[in-house]
Structure 1
Amino acid sequence: MYSHILVTVAYEAEKDAAPSLEIAKALLAPGGQITLIHVMEPAPVFALSYLPEGWRDEMHDAIEADMRRMAEGLSGAATVVAEGDAAHEILEHARAQRVDCIVIASHRPGTQNLLLGSTASKVVARAQCAVHVARRPPAR
């Protein structure tokens, strides 16, 4: 059982955080903490002039509100919205907050990442704590 579990949340097609949260709840020690994290990738420089003013803050607030909704009913749950490279930010948060398990979803990758998605594979390779990979069922 783990005392502090970091659950990654991705906002992509077919990426539902519910299975990862169920795994985290099953692995959590009594009195432990679950933190949900989402990493916003920086917008491409060429697109910045086309985006409305305040878009980043609005997106951050919407993601934060959605993750708080996901965390309802979890005692002492926390949420984090970071910006940057997903693997780096996940690993840095885990290190800084002394997380002892990361739960990360992995999609069914293409040929470039035969076993795991690129973010999941980087996290598995570099994490200083346990990592539980939540495999998604194949699309039908």
Structure 2
Amino acid sequence: MTDHAPLILLVEDEAMLRLAAAELLEDMGFRVETVGSAREAMAHVVAAGTGYSAVIIDVGLPDRSGAELAKDIRGRRADIPIVIASGYDESVLDGTLVGDPRVGFLGKPYGMKGLTQAFADLGIEVDRTLLS
């Protein structure tokens, strides 16, 4: 992996899931920054400017909902693709997010195939040679 690999911000409050998802993303060729709360995520988004290729947000965060965080990120960076991850179905998403072409949904538990599809739906390319 190089410093030129796309950078993903992973927002997941459960440490084991955060670690497993970060390793999976790194195996897919991404650089990953991880945080465990909405507050930390917004601080990273503000500090990174245009640095992130995508943000993956767990819907159930300790300090606010993932949907609210997604709306805040949208307000600051309308161009950044966001993937909302949840053990529930897409009905957990707010109507404004469902209609946004830069917001995708990923059901938990997820693996490389689910992440690849969620990214493809948002126009983020994954190096297919890593998926073999």
TM-score bin (small chain): 0.3 to 0.5
TM-score normalised per structure 1: 0.38
Give the greater-gyration-radius structure (CA): 1
TM-score normalised per structure 2: 0.40
